[in-house]
């Protein structure tokens, strides 16, 4: 996990101490900020979003609540910002000779991530965002749109490489590829596993392919 190496190397207490003991200015502020984000994710992982509180994060981070509220206007915004680096690290966008296989690999990694603890966290964050406009906007701007942009890059690369049709509707293709994840883990339509990802990709991409796309990764 993103914070695991740091936690294992110096320990939570040492990180919190560094946050308050380093010199004035930007370094101290950044150390404090990272300690709070680390504590926030640990709280999410341990308690879920329902048990996630600013008070709990402040206690775990060794920081004042006023410091947290100075940087994050609500617990929902803090929760998403602490979750993002972990989820991003779990679901990278590879870049190899085949854009189609890269897309499949990315979606398999996403399926693995949402099938575990972080999937449960993500489900709670999405649900909470329905009634929290600031949280919903942050999720859209920092989670949804960057992933769509990276996915669009993969599809365009597939066109250039001759794997996919040049006349495809990229936005519609992204809806078809990413939308089913929400119906699976939010609506309980079935597991998100590698076999399902392969079927999803084959169903969508065969309609976009210049030639038939292999159904298995090399």
Which residues of the chain are under the pLDDT cut of 70?
1-28, 186-189, 211-218
Where do we find the tokens 């680390």?
Answer: 38
Fold category of 91-205 in CATH: Tetracycline Repressor; domain 2 (1.10.357)
Q: CB of 217 within 8 A of CB of 105?
A: yes
β-bridge mates for residue 209, sequence order? 164
Domain range annotation of the chain: 4-75, 91-205
Q: What number of CA atoms fall less than 13 Å from residue 182's CA on the CB side?
A: 10
CATH superfamily of 4-75: Homeodomain-like (1.10.10.60)
Q: Which of 47, 44, 191, 176 is nearest to 112 (CA)?
A: 191
pLDDT value of position 215: 55
Residue 14 has a pLDDT of 36
pLDDT score, position 206: 82
């Amino acid at each position: 996990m993103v914070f695991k190496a740091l936690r294992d190397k110096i320990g939570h207490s040492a990180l919190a101490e560094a946050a308050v003991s380093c010199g004035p200015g930007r370094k101290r502020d950044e150390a404090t900020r990272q300690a709070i984000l680390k504590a926030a994710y640990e709280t999410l992982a341990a308690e879920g979003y329902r048990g996630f509180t600013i008070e709990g994060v402040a206690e775990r981070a060794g920081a004042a609540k006023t410091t947290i509220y100075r940087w994050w206007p609500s617990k929902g915004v803090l929760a998403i910002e602490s979750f993002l680096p972990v989820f991003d690290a779990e679901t990278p966008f590879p870049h190899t000779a085949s854009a189609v296989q890269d897309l499949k690999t990315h979606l398999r990694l996403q399926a693995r991530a949402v099938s575990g603890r972080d999937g449960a966290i993500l489900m709670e964050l999405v649900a909470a965002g329905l009634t929290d406009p600031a949280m919903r906007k942050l999720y859209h701007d920092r989670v949804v749109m960057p992933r769509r942009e990276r996915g669009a890059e993969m599809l365009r690369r597939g066109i250039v490489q001759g794997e996919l049709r040049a006349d495809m509707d990229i936005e519609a293709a992204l809806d078809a590829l990413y939308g089913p994840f929400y119906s699976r883990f939010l609506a309980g339509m079935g597991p998100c596993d590698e076999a399902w990802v392969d079927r999803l990709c084959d169903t969508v991409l065969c309609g976009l392919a210049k030639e038939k796309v292999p159904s298995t990764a090399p």
